[in-house]
Amino acid sequence: MSSSEAILSQDKSGSREALMLPAFAGALLLSALLLFSVQPMFTKMMLPSLGGSPAIWSVAMVFFQIMLLLGYLWAHALTRLFSLPVAAIAHLCLTIAAFVVLPLAWPIVSAPSAEGGQALWLVGAFAASVGLPFFALAGNGPLLQAWFARSGHRAAGDPYFLYAASNAGSFVALLAYPLLIEPFFGLRAQSIAWTWGFTGLLLALVLCAWLALTAREAAHVKNPAPQAKVAISWRDRLAWIGLSSVPSGLLVAATAHISTDIAAAPLLWVAPLALFLLTFIIAFRDKPPVSMRVLFLAQAFLAGLALSSLIGAATNIPLQLGTHLLLLFVASLSIHHTLYKRRPAASGLTDFYVCMSLGGALGGLFAALLAPALFSSVLEYPILIVAIFLCQPGACVFSAQGLRTAAGFAIFAVTTLVALYVFASDAHVSDVMRAVLIVSLAAPMLILRERPALVAGFAGLAALSSVMLSGAVTQERAHRSFFGVHKIGLWQEGKTRILKHGTTIHGFARVLNEDGSPVAQPPRPTGYYTLEGPIGEAIRSVRLQKGGRLEHIAAIGLGAGTLACHLREGEAMTFYEIDALVADLARDPKLFPFLSACAPQAPIVLGDARLTIASQVARSDLIIVDAFSSDAIPAHLLTREAIALYLSKLSPNGVIVMHISNRAMDLRATLARVAADAGLIALHRLDVAPLGEDYRAGSRVIALVGDPADLGALALEGGQWEKLEPDLSRRVWTDDYSTILTPVLDMIRDKSQPDSH
C-alpha cells in the first residue's frame, strides 16, 4: 500500500470512528423514543374496550416488559451464536418484517368477557397488533451496544454509557406524549407519524451495521486478538434478576396506588414510568450524583411517609403524589446504581441485560397479575416498599457480606409480610400474637446494630409498621377486580354503610337508626342521587315533561344501585356496568338495599357501555352517564361518537345527564364543545351541599338537551341550571382525539379564580 493510500485509509477510518458514536447514540435514542411512545399511544387505543381502568396501564406495562425480555433474548442469541454480519442481517430482516405490518391500528378481536379474563384478553390484543414491531424495537438496546462493543471503537470496552441515550429517548417520549403529542394529534396521525419514525430507525440500523462492520475490519487488522470472555456465575445472574425485580414491581404497584387511591388521572400513569427511566440515565455511571448514604436515609424517610399515608385516605393530594413519586425515584436510583456497579465486562453485556429484563418482567408480573389475584387491596405496594431495603448496597441479600446482614433483612421482610397479610386478610388475631408480630420487627436492629444508617431506617419502618398493624385496622372490607379496589365500610358510628372505589364514595346506605335499631323503612336515594340533588332534580323534571311517567331510563354505571330508588310504578330502568364485582355487591341486600327493594327486576347488562348500549332496543327518555371510577374518566363515553350513540337511543325530547364531579379535571368546557358539535345545549348545575345527616353529597352535573324546555320548567325556574356557552375554538373530543390536559388546566384556572367553587 502506498503512503497516499495509507493516509486515505486512515482518513476514512477516522471519519467512520467520528460518525460511529453519534450514529449509535442517535439510533438508540430514536429506538427508545418509538418504543416508549407506542406504549401510551396503543394503550389509549385499547381504553374503550375496558372502560378506561387504570389496570389497563398496569397490564400494558407487564406486556411490554415481557416483550422487552423476548427482545433482549433475541439480542443475546444473535450475539452469542452468530457473527456480526449474520446477526446484523437477521435483525434487519426482522425489522423489515415488523415494518410490513405498519401502521399500527386497532386489532380485529372480539370484546372481552364481562365475567373476567380481561387481563389475558388485553395481553392477546396487544400481542396480535403491536407485538412484532415492539419485539423488533426491544432488541435494539442491547444489540446496538453489543455491535458497538465489537466494533473496535476506542470506547468499545465499556459501552454501558450508551444505555443512557436509550433511556433518554424513553424519558423524552413519556414526557412528550401527554404534553405535546396527545393534545395536538389524533390517534391516526400518531400512528402514521410513528410509522415514519420506524422508517427512519430502519435506515439508522443499516448505517450502524455498516459502521460496525467496516470499523471492525479496520480494527481487526490492527488488533486481531479476540475479545476476552468473562465468566458469569449463577449468583451474579440471580443478583441481577433480584435487583431488577424490586424497582420494576415497585413501579407497577406505585402506579396502581397513585391511580387508584390518590388521583386516578391517566396523565399520571406516565409520570412514575418517566421517573423510573430517569433513574437509569442517572445511575448508569461510575459516580452517582448523590452519595449512597444520603440516598438510603432519604429512602428510609420517604418510605416512612409513604407507609404512614397508607393508613388513611389521601387528604393532601400534592403531598401524597410527591411522597410516592419521590420514593419510587430514590429507591430505583439507589438500586439501579447498585445494579450498575455489579455489571460485567462488555462480553457479558447481553447476558446482563437479559437478566435485568427478566427481573423487570417478574416484578411486573407479581405486581400487576399475581398480587390482584392474591390480595383484596393494593397490598403489594407496602410489601415492595419493605423489599427495597433488601437491595441496599453492602446490605442486600445478593451480596457476599455474610449471613448476619442477610438474616436481619430476611427476618424483617418475612415478619412484615406475614403481619401485613394477617391484618389485611381481616383474620382474628389475639392481642398476644399481635404484640409478638410488632415486637419482632425490632429483631433486625439487634442484628444490624453496627450499621447506624440501617438501624435508623429499620427503626422508622418498625415504628410505622407498628402503627399500621395496631391502629390502622378499620372496618373496611376490600374487594378487588380488574377495574380496581372496592371497599365497603361503616361510617357515622356504624349507622351508614359506604361503597368506595379509590378515594371516591360511590354509595351510602343507612343501616341503623339514631337509637341503634336496624332501619326498616324503604331506602331513600342518598349521596349524589338524593331527590333534592341535581340528578334527582333532572329525573323529576324530565318525568314532568313526559306527562308524569318515564317509560325507560338507561343508567351507565351502577355503583351501589342507588338510582333504582328513583323509579316509580310502571317505570323501567336498565343498568350498564362494566365490573361484574360491582354488580354482585349492589345485588346483595345485606350490603345495599336499593336494588332489591326498589328494582329487583332491573336488568344489569355487563360490559363496556359503548358496546352494550348499542344493542339496546328500547328508546330511553333519560340516559344517565355516571361511569367515572374514582377520579378517572372514561373519555370514550364523552366523545362525538358516544353522544351520537346516546342520541340514537333517546326518545323524542329525551335528555342525557352526565355526572362529572371530579377533583382533578373540569369537564364543563369539553362537554359544552361536544354538545355544540352534536347540535345540543349543555346545561350545568353545581350542588355544593356538604355531606351530612341528610346523606346528600355535593355534585356537578351536565344535562345535554336539544331544547332547554326538555329538562322541564321545574329545573329552570329556580335559576340553578346555567347554560354553558361553547368555545368553538376548542377541538372536539372524538374516538380518535381526546386529551385530559385541557380539563386539568381548566380545573387549575377555575381554582385560581376569586369566585372559585
Predicted confidence (pLDDT) at residue 609 exceeds the cutoff of 50: yes
pLDDT band at 757 (very low <50, low <70, confident <90, very high): very low
* Mean pLDDT computed over 332-354: 86
pLDDT band at 744 (very low <50, low <70, confident <90, very high): confident
Cβ count near 340 (within 10 Å)? 18
* Mean pLDDT computed over 632-647: 86
Find out whether 169 and 31 touch, Cβ atoms under 8 Å: yes
DSSP-assigned states of every residue in 180-214: IITTT--HHHHHHHHHHHHHHHHHHHHHHHHHHHH
Predicted confidence (pLDDT) at residue 445 exceeds the cutoff of 60: no
Predicted confidence (pLDDT) at residue 219 exceeds the cutoff of 60: no
Closest by CA to 597, choosing from 527, 695, 520, 523, is: 523
Running DSSP on this structure, what letter comes out for residue 427?
A: -
- Cross-strand pairs, 701: 659, 685
287-298: pLDDT as tens digits: 777 777 788 778
CA distances from 568 to 274, 500, 588, 668 (A): 52, 27, 22, 31
CA–CA dist 444, 410 (Å, integer):
9
For the chain, give the mean pLDDT. Answer: 78
Cell of 80: 452469542
Of residues 450 and 182, the one with the higher pLDDT is: 182
* Identity at 541, one-letter amino acid code: S
Cell of 732: 372536539
- Please tell me the predicted confidence (pLDDT) of residue 701: 93
CA–CA dist 306, 297 (Å, integer):
14
Closest by CA to 48, choosing from 40, 37, 56, is: 56
Predicted confidence (pLDDT) at residue 404 exceeds the cutoff of 70: no
pLDDT band at 222 (very low <50, low <70, confident <90, very high): very low
* Mean pLDDT computed over 70-94: 91
- Please tell me the predicted confidence (pLDDT) of residue 326: 93
pTM: 0.75
pLDDT band at 715 (very low <50, low <70, confident <90, very high): low
pLDDT band at 702 (very low <50, low <70, confident <90, very high): very high
Query: Following CA atoms 281, 285, 289, 292 in sequence, which dihedral angle do they give, to the nearest 10 degrees?
Result: 110
Helix 140-149 / helix 84-100 crossing angle, nearest 10 deg: 150
Cβ count near 73 (within 10 Å)? 18
- Cross-strand pairs, 507: 499
Cell of 684: 350545568
Cβ count near 174 (within 10 Å)? 25
Closest by CA to 385, choosing from 501, 452, 464, is: 464
* Mean pLDDT computed over 501-514: 75
3-state secondary structure 581-615: HHHHHHHCCCCCCHHHHHCCCCCEEECCHHHHHHH
* Mean pLDDT computed over 722-728: 92
* Mean pLDDT computed over 429-442: 48
pLDDT band at 567 (very low <50, low <70, confident <90, very high): very high
* Mean pLDDT computed over 644-663: 91
Cell of 673: 364543545
* Mean pLDDT computed over 355-384: 84
Highest-confidence segment of 392-396, 556-560, 661-665, 671-675: 671-675
Cβ count near 745 (within 10 Å)? 15
* Mean pLDDT computed over 416-441: 50
Find out whether 671 and 682 touch, Cβ atoms under 8 Å: yes
CA–CA dist 413, 415 (Å, integer):
6
Please tell me the total number of residues recorded for the chain in this structure. Answer: 757
Cβ count near 341 (within 10 Å)? 12
Q: In order of start, what are the domains of the chain with their CATH numbers?
A: 14-224 (1.20.1250), 235-473 (no CATH), 534-752 (3.40.50.150)
- Cross-strand pairs, 605: 576
292-340: pLDDT as tens digits: 778 877 887 787 777 766 655 445 667 778 888 999 999 999 899 888 8
* Mean pLDDT computed over 214-239: 65
Closest by CA to 218, choosing from 17, 13, 14, is: 13
- Please tell me the predicted confidence (pLDDT) of residue 727: 93
Q: Which of 182-186, 468-472, 736-740 has the lowest mean pLDDT?
A: 468-472
Find out whether 488 and 499 touch, Cβ atoms under 8 Å: yes
Q: Which of 375-379, 435-439, 725-729 has the lowest mean pLDDT?
A: 435-439
103 preceded by cis ω (within 30°)? yes
477-489: pLDDT as tens digits: 777 777 777 888 7
Q: What residue spans of 223-316 are helical by DSSP H? A: 234-257, 270-283, 292-309
Predicted confidence (pLDDT) at residue 204 exceeds the cutoff of 90: yes
Cell of 205: 440500523
Find out whether 194 and 60 touch, Cβ atoms under 8 Å: no
